[in-house]
Structures are given as structure tokens and as C-alpha cells.
């Protein structure tokens, strides 16, 4: 049984980018599996024939691809749910500047430097705003844990 560990606001919010990265890697892997499933390969007629069926290998590749795709669909659905939860929690702070900075950093995956340019504030101000927003998030939501 896995134990839920309490997290800082930063670690809690960073989960979105971690999950998004893993899903993108899984999509690449799924694409590779799809390519493998389409590839029948060549037959080496110079060797002695043994009884193996290329059809069975192809079927196995296709089944693996389909199974992996189903599992990935479930992970994507979980990601969408987690994203909606985090967006709702960020908006629950009810401070426009906090909402704006946390949303851009943790939902849109932008750097603090990018955010400072977008909100037309200095980097130092944006960094301080980010720290205050994280502190407010931790104060508002005391039981932060891994979502997936």
C-alpha cells in the first residue's frame, strides 16, 4: 500500500509537467510500437526452416500496441482530471496576480523569466510574486500529495 507523502506547493504543482512529459514519452513509445506492428520484417531463406509463424509475431505486436494504447488513454484521462483539479485550486486563491503567475508557470509550463516579460514586470518582482503565491497556495491547501 502506498503512503501519501505531504508535498510543498511547488512540488505539488510541478506534477502536471512531470505527468505531461511522461505522457509525451509514452506517445512516442506508442508510435514506435505502431511502426513495429506495421513492419513484417524479412525472411531469411538461407537458414534452415523452423516452425515459427510470422503471423504470430505480428499479432503479438499488434496486441501489445492496442493494450498499451488503452493504458495510455487511461493515463491521459487521469492527467486531464489532475489538470482540472490544479487549475481549480490555483483559481481558489482569489488573488489575480497569484492566479496569473501560478497558472503560467505550472499549467502552461513557462519559465519565471517568460512570465515576467508577459506580465511586463521585472524578473525580481515576478520571482517574489511567485514565492508569495506558493506560500498562499500552501496556506490555503495544507494536505498536498502526489495525485497519480
Q: What is the mean pLDDT of the chain?
A: 88
Residue 106: closest CA among 75, 144, 69, 70: 144
Label residue 6 exposed, middle or buried (CB < 10 Å: 0-12, 13-18, 19+): exposed
| pLDDT, position 5 | 66
List, for residues 29-57, the tens digit of each pLDDT value. Answer: 999 888 877 776 655 556 655 555 556 87
pLDDT at 125: 97
Name the CA radius of gyration of the chain, rounded: 23
Amino acid at each position: 500500500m502506498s503512503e501519501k507523502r505531504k508535498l510543498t506547493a511547488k512540488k505539488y504543482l510541478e506534477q502536471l509537467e512531470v505527468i505531461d512529459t511522461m505522457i509525451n514519452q509514452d506517445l512516442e513509445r506508442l508510435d514506435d510500437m505502431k511502426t513495429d506492428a506495421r513492419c513484417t520484417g524479412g525472411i531469411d531463406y538461407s537458414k534452415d526452416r523452423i516452425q515459427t509463424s510470422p503471423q504470430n509475431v505480428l499479432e503479438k505486436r499488434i496486441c501489445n500496441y492496442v493494450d498499451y494504447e488503452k493504458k495510455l488513454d487511461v493515463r491521459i484521462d487521469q492527467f486531464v482530471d489532475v489538470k482540472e483539479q490544479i487549475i481549480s485550486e490555483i483559481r481558489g486563491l482569489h488573488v489575480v496576480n497569484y492566479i496569473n503567475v501560478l497558472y503560467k508557470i505550472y499549467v502552461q509550463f513557462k519559465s519565471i523569466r517568460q512570465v515576467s516579460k508577459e506580465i511586463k514586470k521585472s524578473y525580481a518582482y515576478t520571482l517574489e510574486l511567485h514565492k508569495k503565491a506558493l506560500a498562499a497556495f500552501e496556506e490555503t491547501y495544507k494536505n498536498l500529495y502526489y495525485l497519480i
